[in-house]
Structure 1
Amino acid sequence: MSKTPNYDVKVKAILDATKPGERVCELTGEKWNMTEEEIGWYRKFNVPPSKYSPNTRWKILAYFSTGFQFWWNKHFETGESVLSFHHPATGIRVLPDQEWLERDFSNVSLLLSTDQSFFDQLYILTRKVPYRATYDLVPPEQSISLVSLGEQDCYFTLGSRGKRNFFSWVCMDGENSSLVFLSNNVVDSHQILHCNRIFQCKYLRECFDCMDSCFLFDCRSCQYCFGASNKRNRKYLWWNEQLSKEEWEKRRAEVNLGKRSVVEECEQSFEKLLLEDTIWPENFNEKTTDSTGEYLNGSVNCSQCYSAVSGSLYNFRCTYSIGSCSHCAFCWGSKDTSESYFSVTIAGSNKCQFCFRCPQNDTCYYCLMCDNCQYCFGCVGLRRKKYYILNQPYTEENYWKEVDKIMCKMLEDNEHGDFFPTKFSSTYGPESGAAVYCGSSVEEIRQLGPNNFDPNEQGATQRKEIDPKLIRLRTDIPDSIDELTDDWIGVPIYDEEAKRTFAFLKPEIEHYRSVHVAPPNTHFIRRTNKASVLGQLCSLEKRLCSNCAKESLVAKCENYPDRKIYCKSCYLNYLEEHG
């Protein structure tokens, strides 16, 4: 028997009238073809069709993800500075994780009003309940990190586990490395994107099992290579030219990557190599079955998904899935989750819809930061609760009566069926996941939401005032790591484009010296965001194989829109001949 009979009648009429065909995104104007497959997922979850295109929905979800943001927020009660990924200008205040976990916020609630927009009511509640500052899953040790998975002696890392790493995100089991993104087992390396098992390398993308190499793209099991693409089991390559061991070592000794000016010259050569002598496969999927999308590993029957590892099954348009995620649609950042829809960062949850950072929940709707809850609707910060609406308790019977009314009202108000409005987000829009992961332009960020304030508002970028006399310009930073003395440690440096200051840390300089990396001359947020969009973006489009003209669904690549893409068959044939 239906728990929400009135809503079911209304949404059935909408779904019965929904036919496949071209649609126009209400937010961006993008056209897309709503297929029977997509409509089937709406029927499965008993929700009305979205008014936004699939790519726009990804961008909305990404707008709520952290991106790579570090801000000084305020303690909810004392007003003391607390490092967090929640920007204070969004109106959200925080508590350190341990304090938050020791509290019960069920005493902070709202009485449901049938005359007011439900989203408007829920928004008020989200600003009354503090958020977890760092959302660490495993507390870090001697580290500056967010969403730590077990960091030790790391600085400015996000969603990672490792030792002595710097400015990295989603880096698992790395050590003494910097600027690492979506990679595993990276040691003594710098600027590594979408790679696995890398040792003593610099400036690698889409590589596996490589050592002692620089400027590689799509290489496997290569060693002593400088500038190479689409290679397998090779040594002593120099911009794809085969050299003898002696000649390679002679040339390598003449290139000092400890100098920024030299790195910039090599980057230009790398760009030329990527545009003129490189083939992109239609995707970088591994061990997948009947699946489409990008960066899928071990997935089965996943359609149009992005970045899934360790066993995703029967998902549609999901991103950043870990573990046994199954039968989900439009979920971002899920782990071991099933039967869930249009949610962000839900782990170990089941039958959840439109939820944000809700682990171990069952049959919850429009909840934020709730943990181990069941049958909750529009709640914030609850733990181990059942039958709550806007943090108010209900009997089981009354809960479902009210939920039926709310969902009918939300249908009438054109609210139900899509994620929270982006004003709910705690991120700074231009540096949110929409920009970092999806490559959204400044104009697209403006279309997505209101969080385009000055990032320096409310003291978010500095804990205390800096004496202007101490600030130096980034153009003053030495070109060579050999010239960067300890006198630079802790000196505030102004980045005019980022409109904020940064400083070198002592362990950071020691790291650059140990791996012989040129000293950076931009704010670390700019560095990380620039590096992140060098790979395949979380945005899909149809492209033709440059060799046989077969159509494939591929991820967009902002920096290389005119790259040569081969379908899987043509790509493998190319590797046989040239790899």
Structure 2
Amino acid sequence: MLTPTCARCQEPFEITEADQAYYVKRQVPLPKFCPKDRLKRRLAFRNERKLYARKCDASGKIIISNVRPDAPFPVYHTDEWQKQTHEVPQLEGFDFNKTFRQQFRELWLKTPRMHKATAGNEENSEYSNHCGNCRNCYFIFNSEEDQDCMYLKFGDKCSDCVDCHNIILSQLCYECVNVKNCYNLKFSDDCESSSDSAFLRNCRSVKNSMFCYGIDHQEYCLFNEKLSKEEYQKRIQEFRLDSYAGLETAKKRWEEFSAQWPKMRHIILNSENCSGESIYNSKNCSDCFTISNCEDCRYVLNSVDTKDSYDFFAYGMKTALMYECITIANCYDLKFCNYCMYSNSLEYCESCWSCEDCFGCVGLKKAKFCIFNKKYSEEEYKALIAKIKEHMIKTGEYGEFFPEEFSAFPYEDSLAQDYFPMGTEQKQVAMLEGILSVDQLPDLIAHAELNLSDQIFFCPVEQKPFKFQANEIKFYKKVGVALPRVSFEARYRRRNQLIPFPY
């Protein structure tokens, strides 16, 4: 067991014998940062929710992107980037009189990047990110095959769902976290195969119930008490979820009733020799969070079907031998890489798709034996890589992920800001002309007109303006809940506190 001092926070951290064996196998030096600071550094390279209108530097059209308009590098709509009709910049050789980062920065600044992370079709869902094959969706993230949804994170094959995290195969759900195969479920978490209910936690196969914890295969239950259908329908009349005042009363009753139980049941299910939270069907995984079908991993988060990997965040999907990587899918043997897909044997690469044996490359597709985007023979490549690594070890660069200044996003736009807030944002405390107080919203959803979407309201939590979408108001009417009094961002942050995270 080694206990070095973290180069960033100056706190000691552990490197076990198993860790050391892994680093030897992957032929990398021991890490200089502790696990927490390594994760913080990687998360600075992922922007999920901050979207901007900006110009596509290929077509000149206005697009919705997670890259700010003032980014120092060109940005192409993903469709334009995938065509690869543009000339990809390259550097002519490696200058051993300069550091790797100095040279990589030069390439990084002039290489086109995709406008956001999109996989598959995006039908009427331009205000989404890290999504695939979604239709008629707005502000959903890390989701796939969803339809008519808004404000989701980790949605999979859902329809007509709003304000949910970790939701699978569900319909007409609102303000739910960690639910699967549910219908018309509201204000619930950790539930499966349940319907026409509200304020449930840790329930399975429950119907027509409210304010219940830990019940299975039940119907017409209120505060965990089994009732007749008639008595249940009579007693729930006092809980008016379609009224803001009534909804707040119901939330308070639920908070009081549920206080005797844990807020979430963090699961390690069908797994062997694992530590962390929300682990499914995995083996030999330690300090891992929200993973499934993983094996022999450590410090892995938000990943599926990943093996033999350390310090990895999203996505996995038939991935193995990842080290210090983020936003990777269908890859094998990657080190220190960001947003690469369908690739093998890459190091220090960004935005490379279907590539193999590349080092220090940006924005390549179907390339092999490249350094700084320049093509070499296999023999030249292997010989030069050995010299470059030796040089980087001398300069102290090899073995560490990119520093934050190489992120395409400012820190405040990144996922790191969610979990490791840096500083405080300037709060807008004064009401501007034309911005309405949420106190002016109608109490009953029946009284909410669709033209409310033309108004701008002031979020008392975020201290910023926000708007309702017309389809959002239609949804609240459909499921019979009052309009929320805070912005999407405030609602997101509240739900995100229920998601397992190591720090």
Indicate whether the TM-score tops 0.5.
yes
Change (3 A) 1:237 1:434: farther
Is 1:357–2:321 an aligned residue pair? no
Using the TM superposition, give the Cα deviation of residue 115 of structure 1 relative to its aligned residue in structure 2, in angstroms: 2.5
The equivalent of 2:260 in structure 1 is 276
Q: CA RMSD in A?
A: 2.6
The counterpart of 1:129, out of the listed 111, 120, 126, is: 111
Is 1:22–2:22 an aligned residue pair? no
The equivalent of 2:270 in structure 1 is 287
Change (3 A) 1:369 1:280: closer
Contact kept in structure 2, 1:498 and 1:526, CA below 8 Å: yes
Using the TM superposition, give the Cα deviation of residue 188 of structure 1 relative to its aligned residue in structure 2, in angstroms: 0.8
1:164 is paired with a residue whose SS is coil
The counterpart of 1:416, out of the listed 398, 412, 424, is: 398
Is 1:318–2:282 an aligned residue pair? no
The equivalent of 2:362 in structure 1 is 380
Using the TM superposition, give the Cα deviation of residue 107 of structure 1 relative to its aligned residue in structure 2, in angstroms: 3.4
The counterpart of 2:466, out of the listed 495, 498, 502, is: 502
Q: Distance in 1 between matches of 2:41 and 2:151?
A: 25
Q: Pairwise mapping of residues 72-471 of structure 1 onto structure 2 (< 5 A)?
A: 72-77=53-58, 80-104=61-85, 107-111=88-92, 112-143=94-125, 144-160=127-143, 161-278=145-262, 281=265, 283-309=266-292, 311-323=293-305, 325-333=306-314, 334-436=316-418, 439-440=419-420, 442=421, 445=422, 470-471=434-435
Q: Distance in 2 between matches of 1:196 and 1:322?
A: 17
Using the TM superposition, give the Cα deviation of residue 243 of structure 1 relative to its aligned residue in structure 2, in angstroms: 4.3
Using the TM superposition, give the Cα deviation of residue 497 of structure 1 relative to its aligned residue in structure 2, in angstroms: 5.5
Q: Distance in 1 between matches of 2:254 and 2:460?
A: 27
Unaligned runs of 5+ in 1: 1-19, 447-451, 457-467, 540-555, 557-579
C-alpha offsets along residues 173-231 of structure 1, whole Å, 9 cap, x if unaligned? Answer: 11111012122012111011111111111111111111122122222222222222233
Contact kept in structure 2, 1:473 and 1:494, CA below 8 Å: yes
Q: Distance in 2 between matches of 1:257 and 1:21?
A: 56
Give the letter aligned to residue 103 of structure 2.
Q
The counterpart of 1:56, out of the listed 16, 27, 37, is: 37
The equivalent of 1:533 in structure 2 is 497
Using the TM superposition, give the Cα deviation of residue 244 of structure 1 relative to its aligned residue in structure 2, in angstroms: 4.4
Contact kept in structure 2, 1:162 and 1:175, CA below 8 Å: yes
Contact kept in structure 1, 2:450 and 2:474, CA below 8 Å: no
Contact kept in structure 2, 1:190 and 1:517, CA below 8 Å: no
C-alpha offsets along residues 65-124 of structure 1, whole Å, 9 cap, x if unaligned? Answer: 233332223322566532122234553542111111112565312343223231232233
Q: Distance in 1 between matches of 2:480 and 2:222?
A: 20
Contact kept in structure 1, 2:88 and 2:111, CA below 8 Å: no
C-alpha offsets along residues 33-65 of structure 1, whole Å, 9 cap, x if unaligned? Answer: 221122222112111111222233223222222
Q: Distance in 2 between matches of 1:345 and 1:364?
A: 14
Contact kept in structure 2, 1:68 and 1:525, CA below 8 Å: no
Q: Distance in 2 between matches of 1:399 and 1:64?
A: 28
Contact kept in structure 2, 1:139 and 1:148, CA below 8 Å: no
Change (3 A) 1:185 1:435: farther
Give the letter aligned to residue 136 of structure 2.
D
Q: Distance in 2 between matches of 1:59 and 1:173?
A: 30
1:511 is paired with a residue whose SS is helix
Give the letter aligned to residue 41 of structure 2.
I
The equivalent of 2:443 in structure 1 is 479
Using the TM superposition, give the Cα deviation of residue 499 of structure 1 relative to its aligned residue in structure 2, in angstroms: 5.9
Q: Distance in 2 between matches of 1:453 and 1:116?
A: 37
Q: Distance in 1 between matches of 2:405 and 2:425?
A: 12
Change (3 A) 1:235 1:28: farther
Using the TM superposition, give the Cα deviation of residue 155 of structure 1 relative to its aligned residue in structure 2, in angstroms: 1.4
Which has the higher relative contact order, 1 or 2, with Cα contacts under 8 A spaced 6 or more apart? 1
Q: Distance in 1 between matches of 2:5 and 2:483?
A: 47
Q: Distance in 2 between matches of 1:502 and 1:306?
A: 32
Q: Distance in 1 between matches of 2:456 and 2:360?
A: 44
Using the TM superposition, give the Cα deviation of residue 303 of structure 1 relative to its aligned residue in structure 2, in angstroms: 2.5
Q: Distance in 2 between matches of 1:528 and 1:350?
A: 33
Bigger mean CA deviation after superposition, 208-217 or 53-62: 53-62
Change (3 A) 1:496 1:214: closer
